[in-house]
């Protein structure tokens, strides 16, 4: 369809050149008629290019859907998964270690620190070889910094701990699905695995709105597990906003 629109647009350009830009003695249109015809052609051309733009946007959306690893979206982890033969909890074909719940509770404790400051309660921890090397909770209002998300602060602390910007072999636990900014920071820091609690329907970029963490077009991909202590993580947020509404 795009090719047909392009051919039609090319034909319009040819007509415009013949009627408007060239002195064509074989054309019997008076100047006023030429102007009216030029306006009509211009409007038709604009409409066609709008159609082309819509086709391009639709193509990009379809491409993103097809290239996204949908397994991470459908293989949601739950804390009531069954114990597999290797001793890990499993749900929907993905593995959940016993430590995942423990570290998610640590992230929840960070979220409660944010709540005590009247910040949106989101918390994160970064673990390497069984040790928490980075902690963070949302401080966007306190620091007046739009980048002061829990994941960003945890990544900075972990990088300082390792004295390196590459957080190889690390797992990030966060109570809410990472946003576009945090997903980008996770990819840039080469974190190996991300475990998050509850989905973010407005900004989630680990499977809800898109899956930046597993997009094959990037030079790094991260393992993603979701739904760990989902209800408890979600309640932190809903309780916070409920109290906020009641105060107002």
Active-site amino acid positions: 151
Q: Which two tokens stand for residue 36?
A: 């009216």
* Residues pairing with 171 in the sheet: 127, 193
Residue with tokens 């609690």: 197
Which residues lie below 8 Å from residue 103, measured CB to CB, with a gap of 6+? 125, 127, 132, 171, 173, 195
Long-range contacts of 13-20 (CB under 8 A, 24+ apart): 13/45, 15/41, 16/41
Which residues lie below 8 Å from residue 159, measured CB to CB, with a gap of 6+? 134, 165, 167, 189
Going by DSSP bridges, is the β-strand pair 223-226/193-198 parallel, antiparallel, or unpaired?
parallel
Q: What is the CA radius of gyration of the chain?
A: 27
Which sign, positive or negative, has the C-alpha torsion 166, 142, 174, 223?
negative
Q: Which two tokens stand for residue 150?
A: 């829990």
Whether the CB-CB separation of 228 and 125 falls below 8 Å is answered with no
């Amino acid at each position: 369809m795009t090719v047909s629109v392009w051919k039609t647009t090319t034909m319009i350009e040819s007509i415009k050149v013949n009627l408007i830009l060239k002195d064509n003695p074989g054309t019997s249109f008076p100047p006023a008629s030429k102007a009216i015809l030029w306006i009509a052609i211009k409007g038709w051309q604009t409409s066609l290019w709008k159609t082309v733009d819509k086709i391009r946007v639709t193509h990009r959306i379809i491409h993103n859907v097809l290239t996204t690893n949908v397994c991470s979206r459908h293989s949601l982890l739950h804390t009531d998964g069954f114990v597999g033969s290797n001793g890990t909890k499993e749900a929907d074909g993905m593995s959940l270690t016993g430590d995942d719940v423990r570290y998610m509770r640590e992230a929840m404790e960070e979220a409660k620190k944010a709540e005590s400051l009247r910040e949106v309660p989101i918390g994160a921890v970064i673990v390497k070889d069984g040790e928490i090397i980075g902690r963070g909770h949302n401080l966007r209002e306190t620091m007046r910094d739009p980048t002061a998300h829990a994941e960003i602060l945890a990544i900075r602390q972990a990088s300082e701990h390792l004295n390196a910007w590459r957080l190889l072999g690390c797992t990030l636990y966060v109570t809410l699905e990472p946003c576009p900014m945090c997903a980008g920071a996770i990819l840039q820091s080469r974190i190996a695995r991300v475990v998050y609690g509850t989905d973010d329907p407005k900004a989630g970029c680990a499977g809800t709105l898109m899956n930046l963490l597993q997009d094959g077009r990037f030079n790094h991909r991260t393992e993603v597990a979701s739904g760990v202590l989902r209800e408890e993580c979600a309640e932190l947020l809903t309780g916070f906003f409920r109290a906020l509404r009641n105060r107002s």
